Amino acid sequence: MTRLARSGVFAASVTPLRPDLTPDLEAIAPFLAFLAGRGCDGALLLGTTGEGPSFSVGERAAIWRAALQVRVRHPDFNLLAGTGTPSLSETIELTKLAFDLGYDGVVALPPYYFRAATDEGLFNWFQRVISSAVPADGLFFGYHFPGIAGIGFSLDLLARLKEAFPRQFAGIKDSSHDRAFGQALSRTFGGELVVFNGTDSDLAWALQNQAAGCITAAANLISPQLRQVYDLARNSSDSQSAQMRVTRQRQILERYSPFPPALKALLTRLHRQPRWPVRPPLVDISETDEERLAEEFSVP
């Protein structure tokens, strides 16, 4: 269970779906192999980009099992499972399942329906999840995305969880797009808390502030460019030009949010992946927007 690369470039993977909106289980491992071949150290399955909240426990289990096949060709490819739900019992069940399947770690949102929850309530919630479902050598990452979830992790809550579970509470995925918060993480925890940045346009900056790497939606498309930024920054080389290219592509995608429909359209257009739909309440990108997006994204 200690095989997880605690740094690097991870994709917040899209979820392949069939036309009837059921998971396309046969397509999952080949798509992850595609990501592995383009510089990804691993992938997060069923996070926000993977439409995680749209799937039942049984569907998540089937998707996670199918993803394991990527290790036949890429044995070192790291797999993270998105397990957070508003339900304590369901989050425990999903987290335990992910580790039972052999996943390298889990990434969990706070119970996002309860937006007024206190730090005390959130600590009690996560304490029960980790105590009940995370093995002694398992790695649990909080998912800090208050712009979508409506609730996140305070520095005090992170410190308390790290003190209570120094081995199991490994760190967070920070998708807050908040540089002040990123700097506070660096000042408060240094390298003791593993931070995966979720904002492609801030990757070089985050690495300078002790982030371990990234887990991003855009990595489905631009992982070679993210890899270049990561490698240059980690080697103390000038990553400004590489970061500027990544920032431009991220900014284009942001004009066509939410990301899953846009990413799936571009994966088909640019990389000949099957055309996968999205589940409601998301809707597929319009033909007009798809044409415009593809044109903008393809310009060097």
- Terminal-residue alpha carbon distance, the chain: 41
Backbone angles phi, psi at 177, to 5 degrees: 55, 35
Look at residues 152, 142, 59 and name the one whose alpha carbon lies nearest to residue 105. 142
One-letter identity of residue 96 = K
In the set 15, 48, 49, 95, the catalytic residue is: 48
* Residue 162 near residue 169 (C-beta atoms within 8 A): yes
The one-letter amino acid at 205: W
Q: Is 173 considered catalytic here?
A: yes
Token match 């996943």: residue? Answer: 103
CA–CA gap between residue 6 and residue 20 (Å, rounded): 37
Structure tokens at 256: 């066509």
Q: Is 138 helix (H, G, I), strand (E, B) or coil?
A: coil
Give me the catalytic one of 91, 103, 112, 143. 143
Burial 164-187 (b: 16+ CB within 10 A, else e): ebeebbbbbbbbbbbeebbeebbe
Catalytic, 264? Answer: no
Residue carrying the six token digits 């095989």: 3
Active site residue 49: no
Catalytic member of 91, 95, 96, 173: 173
> Is 162 annotated as catalytic?
no
Catalytically active residues are: 48, 113, 143, 173
